[in-house]
Amino acid sequence: MENLYDVPREVGHAVWDLTRDIAIAMRETYGCQGVSTRQHNEPAGDQDVWHLHVHVLPRYDGDDLYLRHRDARYVHADARAGFAARLRASID
């Protein structure tokens, strides 16, 4: 599935259920004050990866996430592994 337009209803519901599960696990694991989700469709919608996926972002008071978008940088998988392991443990 390339984007939201191609998703059958039952798959869309499953994606949203999983998004909810991840958001809850993120809040419990990382102690964030909130969670933001994003999903992009087509180039004008900022889609740059050509399969359906949802971004689930932990949010903290004053994090200025959307003001700091241009400051984003690639973080190597080794540096992210500990965060992923903690989150995975809270989901399983």
H helix runs in the chain, sequence order: 9-30, 77-91
Q: What is the pLDDT of residue 40?
A: 94
What is residue 57's predicted lDDT score, i.e. its pLDDT? 95
- Cβ neighbourhood burial of 26 (10 Å; 0-12, 13-18, 19+): buried
Q: What is the mean pLDDT for each group of 10 consecutive residues in the chain (92 residues)?
A: 93 96 96 96 93 95 88 91 94 81
